[in-house]
A and B are shown apart, each in its own frame.
Chain A
Amino acid sequence: MTYELANSSDFPAEKRRAKGIAPMKAFRQFAAWHTIAPPLVFFAMLLVVGIFNPNYLGPFGISIVAATAAPILLVAVGQAMVLNIGSIDLSNAAISMLGAILLALWVPQLGVAGILGVLVLMTLVGALNGFVLAHTQVPSFALTLGTLGILQTAALVISDSQTIYLTQNRELVTAFYNTSLAFVPLTFWIGVLVAVAYWVLLRFTVVGQNMTAVGKNESGAILSAVPHRRIKTITFAVSGFTGAVAGLCIVAQGGSASASGLGSNLLLPGIAAALVGGTSISGGLTNPLNVIFGALTVAFVPIAIQALGFSAQAQSLVYGIFIILVVALTTTRTRGLVIK
């Protein structure tokens, strides 16, 4: 006869909630932190660099930073979309790498069709990630770690461990880097465009609303008839697509691609940029526009390190510390929640 009158165990919970009103307010202010912190951190970074090395604030400096930031930004907005649904994509930097190699191989013969082909193929790779994830319910970091391994091998084998130079149709791709708009190369503007598009997707479309819902509360979303499997597939496809565009930026900048060259180490800067851009590692919170600031901040890291008199080799260390710090600061800690 367990028909609950008013489940007595509910009372302590109610009490906790009542007590929790003050922290709740604090949390709201904290949540606002996500919206203003990314530009603030960026301008602080700019200030540091400006004091130590004012050259970087001129047209030349801006164009260099923006060029460095472009692939990071693209990988980061893709990662932000995946983090937003509560997963992580460890393979998206490898997707850019493979994408860059395929571009360098295909564009000379196929031209624009080669670019489109790479975009479609890498989107499919991402979608496959999402499809397997959604239908087998394995942890995303493990699945995408596996994909990462496969893509690395594919990149090595396809390029035969060589640097592939764009022999023909070079301008078709490099124009994205060589053309500038307000001192900033087109590659970065593409990143901004993609970020804006994702912002619109999240804010104004049902798919975007459902993505964030899955990230905030997957069970709740499923019981509100959200097609969660399709949403996950689409999200990873989006990450794959953006990864391929990042690959395009890499080739545009260098005119070549290799498995160990420019952009082979985008995974961590990408995650760092997404997190610095206010994306929550536990899902349900991201703003692609802020990720732009996150990417710029991260792109400034090596410059700032040098401006402060350290070796540029401290980059990895700083990215690592960045991730730990930002996540430690922004993770919401619910008592009693089991974190694996």
Chain B
Amino acid sequence: MKLQGKMVLNALISLLASLVLVAYIIFQLLNMNAQNKELVPTLLNIQKLNGTLMQISQGLNNYSATMTESNKASILNELQKAEELVTQVASGVLPSGEEQEWVSSIQTKFGKLKGETEQAVNGQDSPEAKRQAIRAQGIQNDLYMLNLLAEARYEASTRELENSIQLTWQIALAGAIVLVVAVGAYNVFVSRQLAGRIRRLNEAAGQIAEGNLMVEIAEPKGKDELDELGRSFRLMKNNLHGIVHSVDQAGRSVDSLAQDIDQHNDTMQEIVNQVAAATEELAVGSQKTAEDLAVTVELVDEMSQLFEANLAGTAQSAAYSSEAVRIMDKGSREMEEQLRVVAANRQAMSEVEQTVQTLEANAQEITQMTGYVSEIAKQTTMLSLNASIEAARAGEAGKGFAVVADEVKKLADQSAVTAKQIFSAVEGITAAMRNVKDSVARSMELSREQEEAAALTGQSFTEVSQQVQQIAGHLDTLTADMNRSQHMCSQVQEAVANMSAITEQSAGGSEEIAASTTEQRRSFALAAEKVKQLRQIAGELQQELQRFRL
């Protein structure tokens, strides 16, 4: 039943009880009223009869003084009235023997009075009329006695009535008190029960507010609003229980995730360290390349000087060839001398060849290193990509880290570009080197041919003089070639200088890489700090959740 219904029922019960009480009072009052109804007319008749007798007595006195017809008629009229009243009194409700005695005495005396009075007035007997006047008073005394008894009866009845009223009043009062007490007690009981139910719910709410989700709420059996509230409360508690449990699990997940990020961070730092080391190695490699290049420049300078010397020697050969004819005798000695110079030239040439080979090996090394750099740049790019992803997952905390990751990616891209440039430069060097090699090889061939020619000179000076002209021509060509070689040498010098600059640039890039790597490390440290904060927050969340007892 609904609370409203209960309350209405309570009120109805109280009202009904009050109505029963009121009905009882009304019933009692009606009953009392009935009791007194019968006596009153008798009492009234007695009073009337008394009055009539008094008038008869008075009338008789008057008649005895003045015997007029009007007085006589009045007396007879009153007698008639009195007779009727006597009959009425006699037939009234006067049950006791004593009352009946008086009634019969009155009847007898009145009968006699009536007869004698009629006789007196008809016979105009004045003394007799006077006598009857007193005798009427005698009847009045009997009537007085009767009235006394009737009044006593009436009084008793009234007293009974009063007692009855008092009794009714007492019962009504007692009933009212009992009603008030009972209804009050009942209402106190009901309201206490209601308050108790509300208090229990309140206590449970307090417990839940303090975090105790273990609190037991009995399943309400009733159907009123409080029971519905209890049911809702139970549902709320269970839902809260579930929510807290879920939040706890989520907190734990965040913690483990943060831990993972932390670990990833460590790995990242390791990778960055590796990048730093690789960059350092790259710097060292570049230095070595620069040093090697310096050596190459020296050698090329030397080679250039040698070319100049060759050039001068060839010019001298040309001059000598004109004199060759003249100094044929001396020619064989000089030829030997020339053979020795050519041998020395060949030796120098092989030395050049060797140098170029070393240079080639160095260029090969640079290529290889540049490949490393490129690989590192690729790895760095991958790393920065991973870092961006992790930063994105870290959210707000990872923003700084995302900037760093972006910078790292830029550097890696730059590194890749630089490496590519180095590649192309090295390729240029390699091509020049191949040219040098070819030239040297041809020089060697020419030197061998020179040797063969010189050897032939020794055999045939004639041929020599003939062919000196040819030699002079050859020597001109040689001079041109020498010039070309010198030009190539300067080209090599230029290329090496370029290489040196590039290597220096590469070293600068490495430094920049090292610097950004340091910054990256710092960012990682910051990220680690943020992750730590995240874990702390997760820890706090869990601590908060520990307030809830599940």
Q: Does B associate with A?
A: no
* Interface residues of B, Cβ cutoff 8 Å to A: none
* Interface residues of A, Cβ cutoff 8 Å to B: none
